[in-house]
Structure 1
Amino acid sequence: MMKARVTVTLKNGVLDPQGQAIEGALAGLGFGGIGSVRQGKVFDLVLEGTDIEAARSQITAMCEKLLANTVIENFAIEISN
């Protein structure tokens, strides 16, 4: 069994209204010194098998087909045994 974490974030230049709302809320709560906030999403997967490269290939396909909108989002994959 392997564990994988996929982190999906908006590409630079894409507007992030949720990140802006979080930034404003943090300032309203008294947390100063924050230049900007960008939000994203994380997917934790448990995979059968031990072939890391096959898993990376499969997860990349998952990201391209479902987990990320590759027009406006980037994704990063971390795999551990």
Structure 2
Amino acid sequence: MTHEAMVARWQQGLVTPMSSTINTFAKTDGSWWTVSQGAWQRVQQAERNERLDYHHDRFESVCQAKGPAGTNSQWVVFGQSA
């Protein structure tokens, strides 16, 4: 998936970032995705998706998974914050 497509999904409320500080993993369509070289790749392994769910839940329980923060966010298209 292109970065622009992922950002569009995020703007529609269809994406959950891992946390406010970990923006290289995001969940949409029921699975986790990771960004690499400007594109998003679906995490294929069920076990890895489960581990990512576990860590996301852990971050959420301490109020860290609040979405992207700051100008260093992956959620930027063409130099503008999402």
Q: TM-score, normalised by structure 2?
A: 0.24
**Higher-strand-fraction structure:** 1
**Higher-helix-fraction structure:** 1
For the pair shown, the structure with the greater C-alpha radius of gyration is 1
Q: TM-score, normalised by structure 1?
A: 0.25
- Which structure ranks higher in relative contact order (CA pairs < 8 Å, sequence separation ≥ 6)? 1
